Structure 1
Amino acid sequence: MARFDLYRIKAWRIPLVVSVQAEMLDDIGSRVVIPLRAVGPNEAPTLPRLNPVLDIDGHRHVLETTDLGAQPLYWLGAPIGNIKEHRDTITAAMDFLFQGY
């Protein structure tokens, strides 16, 4: 499993999550994930550095950085894609959450 893999969770209100856990920790039975919430064309988050809008397959999603958490692998299932092209934006959002910059 790769960092920035996407997972679809049908049982959740926000069904799309991205794994942000380092690949060197693949032996752990869980993944730290951040939910991605679909947004309309005119919607903008109040803190765009913390909750950036990402274009995923032509659809806009807000990275809900403050809602990150760990989920067991068996619950996530197989990844449906990867968004490593957004690595810098996602990492900057986590830096802002944890470091304040």
Structure 2
Amino acid sequence: MARFRVYALKSSEVIALDLQADLVELLPTRVMAPLYPVTTMTWAFSRLNPRFVIDGQTYSLATQRMSAVDQRDIGREVVNLSSRSDEITAALDFLFQGF
């Protein structure tokens, strides 16, 4: 698993973004936040819920719904969002620091 990569979860139709630093990869879990199609996420804060186009569909990152996911439940890699790392980190800062 790698930070800023989006993975399909084996137990559902949800895709999730890995937020955990790679330095702590020995843990059996990864901290991830789900991505939902913008059509199903009726509200969003632009700084908290950045949007990404993945396979032609626009998704919103539900930063406030992050949780630990057992590595056994993480499936295939969908896309690498490392190029958007500053925006993702800003969403985490907004959630925890308020700015």
Contact between 1:44 and 1:53, CA under 8 Å: does it hold in 2? no
User: Deviations along 1:45-72, whole A, 9 cap, x unmatched?
Assistant: 4411111211223321000010000001
User: Deviations along 1:51-97, whole A, 9 cap, x unmatched?
Assistant: 12112233210000100000010111342332112211111000000
Q: Structure 1 residues 53, 74: CA separation in 2 closer, same or farther (over 3 Å shift)?
A: same
Q: Residue 48 of structure 1 aligns to a residue in which SS?
A: coil
Unaligned runs of 5+ in 2: none
Which residue number in structure 1 is paired with residue 48 of structure 2? 50
The structure in which a higher percent of residues are strand is: 2
Distance 2:15 2:53 in 1: 13
Task: Give the alignment's TM-score, normalised by structure 2.
Answer: 0.86
Distance 1:45 1:35 in 2: 15
- Is 2:29 aligned against 1:30? yes
Aligned AA for 2:7? Answer: Y
Unaligned runs of 5+ in 1: none
The offset of 1:9, in angstroms, is 2.0
Contact between 1:56 and 1:83, CA under 8 Å: does it hold in 2? no
Structural mapping, 1:12-27, within 5 Å: 12=12, 15-27=14-26
Give the percent of matched residue pairs that are identical in Structure 1 and Structure 2: 37
After TM superposition, the runs of 4+ consecutive aligned structure 1 residues lying more than 6 A away are: none
Distance 2:18 2:27 in 1: 13
Number of residue pairs the alignment of both structures matches: 98
Distance 1:79 1:56 in 2: 12
